[in-house]
Structure 1
Amino acid sequence: MADASIGTPAQLRDPNYTPPMHKAIPLGIQHVLSMFVSNVTPAIIVAGAAGFGFGSNSPDFPELLYLIQMSMLFAGVATLLQTVTLGRVGAALPIVQGTSFAFLPIMIPLVAGKGVDGLAALYGGIVVGGLFHACLGLVIGRIRFALPPLVTGLVVTLIGLALVQVGIQYAAGGVPAKAAGAAEYGSALNWSAAGVVILVTLALKFFARGMLAVSAVLLGLLAGYAYAMAVGILTPEAVAGSWNNAAAFALPDPFRYGIDFTVAAILGFCLMAFVSAVETVGDVSGITKGGAGREATDREIEGATYADGLGTALAGVFGGLPNTSFSQNVGLIAMTGVMSRHVVTCGAIFLIICGLVPKVGGVIRTVPIEVLGGGVIVMFGMVVAAGVSMLADVDWNRRNMVIFAVSLSLGLGLQLEPEAVQYLPETARVLLTSGLLPAAFLAIVLNLLLPRTLADEAPTPTAKPRGLPLETPRH
């Protein structure tokens, strides 16, 4: 519910209204807190997949800090593009941008086990994919028909399903511990740290209100962090080492890891841009509907898509990861009733400041992998739930069930059994084993080509329908 002291009802529904700064700044930081963990987690996962060492004495320690730093910095830059705008770039709405989970199933195979050397191709794909994403702003209104809830819901569900394994591995002790055959992998101590995070997060989500509920995952991680310190998983010396080994201030370094343009990376990022663009359209519509009680304009949707893509391309140049609009902040706007884009601008500036201070990344890096695992189990589960929620809008006739079944089986099957295509060229193997791209492609093609109903779904008056009738889902 909106606070009347912030402004009149008409002012609160106006994106151009600026609340008093002593109110605007805390409201902006609240937006940052609600997305902070989700924003930096993909960088940690990509670093882990690449094989970076997580210890403060590891030679990869500066690189891990840099990835975290760029995640914060360019989330802030991309958010500024949305709120302040740059010509036609930006929606002039309170849209919070952040690092996207959707691209992880594409990024992980590209960098797996390759260390820093695997990042050049990753960033080539991010830059080209971001520019392609920006170009979608020219046609976004005309391609939405090809991505109905059946397709987008399937893809979002598969994103979550592809990542839940990562959450379990982290909670058990991390992939390096598993690969080394460490005795503590899967121990009760490791799982207890993850369990504390999950329990505190659920308790706050269900029994708290306001900011406590909004920041439930962040507070759950803080509780898990304190527990890890108490039981010895994390030591004060490790925290001090990370803090002391991180610089107080650092500027982004363009093309720090080089850039390489490979077919697999470019195709993967360009195809996923379609899904990210449609997600942004949904978020823009949710903001205008929940905050101002109106539909989004074509200008707002196009500007948001331009900012999405340009923000991603800029991030790729400096070592950041793909950006997209964050859905959790859409709900926060509906909850607070404050539609001001300048509030989110305050949050963007806070993110940029954090991104220029590597010591912030140094503290984040000290979060034990088991504690992070508890948080991502919740977050990735929510991704699956979001996909299922989107699928609730589908008319579940037998035609759509067949499309969903075939696409899901192929996509999830290739994720689970990548060796099934081991003899294909590397480009095709990377794209297919992501699971997302073959599933999305198949669902789009089948949805466009197959007739609206199956032959046996339209019985004649004299014939009885074959098979058991399908019960209509209740909403």
Structure 2
Amino acid sequence: MDNPVHPVDQRLPLAQTAVLGFQHVLVMYSACIIVPLILGAALQLSKDQLTLIINADLFAAGLATLVQCLGNRFFGIRLPIMMGVTFASITPMIAIALNPTLGLPGVYGAIIASGIFGILFAPIMGRLLRLFPPVVTGTVLLVIGISLMRVGIEWSAGGQPTLANGEPNPEYGKPVYLLISLVQLVLILGINRYARGFIANIAVLLGVLFGFAVAFLMGDIVLDGMADKPWFAVIQPFAFGAPKFDTLAIVSMCLVMLVTMVESTGMFLALGKIVERPTTRERLVRGLRSDGLGAVIGGVFNAFPYTSFSQNIGLVTMTGVQSRFVCIAGALILLFLGLFPKLAFVIASTPQYVLGAAGMVMFGMVAMMGVRILSTVDFESSRHNLLIVATSVGIGMIPMVSPTYFHHLPEWSRVFTESGIVLSVCSALILNLLFNGLGIASQAAEQAERSAALNDA
């Protein structure tokens, strides 16, 4: 009797695959382009330069996602993952680019070098798999979800509460934004409750499209300047000049790569549990190598380092659609948007309040993924696990609750201290080793290896 096709490897009808892939793109799009917008504002880039970087970012994210989802013997974890620029890279990239002797070529040289470092270091991270038992991965996913909830909430209120100049945002929290977000939320929940099949799976997309239509009728979809955008634009490698390789810049971006690999490890382990394809050492190494290759691709095409986006993992959990070919479709759409700037401009014109309800649902699903993993942890006979989770969640909340908590520490430490995810990972790893040693972690890793072997058989 033939083995049934695993849901991860299932090929859905072409039209459904395309629509579900577009839903993934909408969920990640705003977060994907925010880093080039921040970088452009900090470096005072021209409109043409910023457009080039945004298009390159979409194009490189699509390539990185294809590598991760398609995979081969050396690269790609072959799970439903969308790759986007990592926020941990913002601070060091700005610092490098502001150096007049380096500029953007120095940024891209450091990104390429960090990607090569990531490819070489991936097998070492693979050997640390046993350090990530459920008590660690569940805690990290819970912190990721809680941390991201602030983003979804701010989106639903119209963006950031303060402007770039530090003044309060007068548009923030307008009742009409809150009402639209509430209606979208009701619509998403209603579709999930009463619809079936494909319609239920695209509830988030339908909610966003409804919000986009309302925003268009309100006149909030501003398309000024779209006529200046070309219909087609080829992404030129090294458009800002040959990369420059500076030692300090490379070290700072390698630290970002380490942070990215730690975050990705937690994501891969969680997603493996969700889709019932355990993340073995071999799969983890292939996935982490793809993070490194994604950084190399980003550096070559004037973009950024890339990592798996947690909101898209939340979308997989919500819809139950586990096919990696849906994310491959999303990758092709990203490539398409990167090559056709007019289309990318339309999507980029979507007001943030249109994405608020979808963001809250997606980020909440990420937090619930962590809760689900923690439900498998033994809290009855081992009160140490309670301490591990409670302490790590508390430490992970510091950057969100008190952004200036670590402001007296050296500048280089911001790569670590500005990320609640990194703080929670480090805390959970250290406390788990302190209280549980390697025993529980080793058993979990061995069990995952055995389950994966049976699944592959």
The separation in 2 between residues aligned to 1:115 and 1:172, in whole angstroms, is 33
CA shift digits 1:114-171 (9 cap, x unpaired):
9985995876775455444433542454211111222222222222332322323332
- The equivalent residue for 1:413 is 398
- The equivalent residue for 1:277 is 265
Are 2:63 and 1:74 equivalent residues in the alignment?
A: no
The separation in 2 between residues aligned to 1:345 and 1:452, in whole angstroms, is 39
The structural deviation recorded for 1:63 is 5.5
Structure 1 stretch displaced more, 342-351 or 193-202 = 342-351
The separation in 1 between residues aligned to 2:159 and 2:373, in whole angstroms, is 31
- The equivalent residue for 1:460 is none
The separation in 2 between residues aligned to 1:434 and 1:189, in whole angstroms, is 32
The separation in 1 between residues aligned to 2:37 and 2:96, in whole angstroms, is 9
Instruction: State the one-letter code of the partner of 1:432.
Output: T
Are 2:357 and 1:374 equivalent residues in the alignment?
A: yes
The separation in 1 between residues aligned to 2:174 and 2:149, in whole angstroms, is 19
- The equivalent residue for 1:191 is 178
CA contact (8 A) 1:170 1:373 kept: yes
The separation in 1 between residues aligned to 2:268 and 2:4, in whole angstroms, is 25
The equivalences for 1:88-99 within 5 A come to 88-90=74-76, 93=78, 95-99=80-84
- Pick the aligned partner of 1:252 from 229, 232, 235: 235
CA contact (8 A) 1:197 1:224 kept: yes
Instruction: State the one-letter code of the partner of 1:352.
Output: L
Give the TM-score normalised by the residue count of structure 1: 0.73
CA contact (8 A) 1:172 1:187 kept: yes
The separation in 2 between residues aligned to 1:140 and 1:430, in whole angstroms, is 19
The separation in 2 between residues aligned to 1:168 and 1:115, in whole angstroms, is 32
The structural deviation recorded for 1:451 is 4.7
The separation in 2 between residues aligned to 1:115 and 1:211, in whole angstroms, is 46
The separation in 2 between residues aligned to 1:51 and 1:189, in whole angstroms, is 30
The separation in 2 between residues aligned to 1:14 and 1:188, in whole angstroms, is 42
- The equivalent residue for 1:323 is 307
Give the aligned length: 421
CA contact (8 A) 1:190 1:370 kept: yes
- Pick the aligned partner of 2:200 from 213, 217, 234: 213
- Pick the aligned partner of 1:313 from 292, 296, 309: 296
The separation in 2 between residues aligned to 1:28 and 1:342, in whole angstroms, is 7
Percent of pairs with identical residues: 28
- Quick one: structure 1 residues 79 and 329, their matched pair in 2 at CA, closer, same or farther if it must change by over 3 Å? farther
CA contact (8 A) 1:25 1:347 kept: no
CA contact (8 A) 2:395 2:424 kept: yes
Largest Rg, 1 or 2? 1
The separation in 2 between residues aligned to 1:125 and 1:355, in whole angstroms, is 23
- The equivalent residue for 1:4 is none
The equivalences for 1:47-62 within 5 A come to 47=36, 49-50=38-39, 52=41, 62=48
The structural deviation recorded for 1:111 is 7.0
The structural deviation recorded for 1:32 is 1.4
CA shift digits 1:290-319 (9 cap, x unpaired):
xxxxx6776555434433431243124421
3-state SS of paired residue (2:128): helix
The separation in 2 between residues aligned to 1:442 and 1:296, in whole angstroms, is 22
- Pick the aligned partner of 2:29 from 26, 40, 46: 40
CA shift digits 1:179-199 (9 cap, x unpaired):
443433221122223223322
The separation in 2 between residues aligned to 1:251 and 1:89, in whole angstroms, is 26
- Quick one: structure 1 residues 317 and 174, their matched pair in 2 at CA, closer, same or farther if it must change by over 3 Å? same
- Quick one: structure 1 residues 61 and 384, their matched pair in 2 at CA, closer, same or farther if it must change by over 3 Å? farther
Are 2:220 and 1:233 equivalent residues in the alignment?
A: yes
CA contact (8 A) 1:74 1:311 kept: yes
The structural deviation recorded for 1:227 is 0.9
CA shift digits 1:229-285 (9 cap, x unpaired):
223333xxx23x253232211222445577772655532431331230342355456
Instruction: State the one-letter code of the partner of 1:26.
Output: A
The separation in 1 between residues aligned to 2:160 and 2:425, in whole angstroms, is 28
The equivalences for 1:341-420 within 5 A come to 348-396=331-379, 397-420=382-405
3-state SS of paired residue (1:228): helix
- The equivalent residue for 1:148 is 133
CA contact (8 A) 1:43 1:67 kept: no
- Quick one: structure 1 residues 233 and 334, their matched pair in 2 at CA, closer, same or farther if it must change by over 3 Å? closer
Instruction: State the one-letter code of the partner of 1:219.
Output: L
Structure 1 stretch displaced more, 420-429 or 118-127 = 118-127
The equivalences for 1:8-27 within 5 A come to 12=5, 25-27=14-16
Return 5+ residue gaps in structure 1 as ranges.
1-7, 290-294, 454-475
The separation in 1 between residues aligned to 2:204 and 2:91, in whole angstroms, is 27
The separation in 2 between residues aligned to 1:117 and 1:195, in whole angstroms, is 42
3-state SS of paired residue (2:412): helix
Give the TM-score normalised by the residue count of structure 2: 0.76
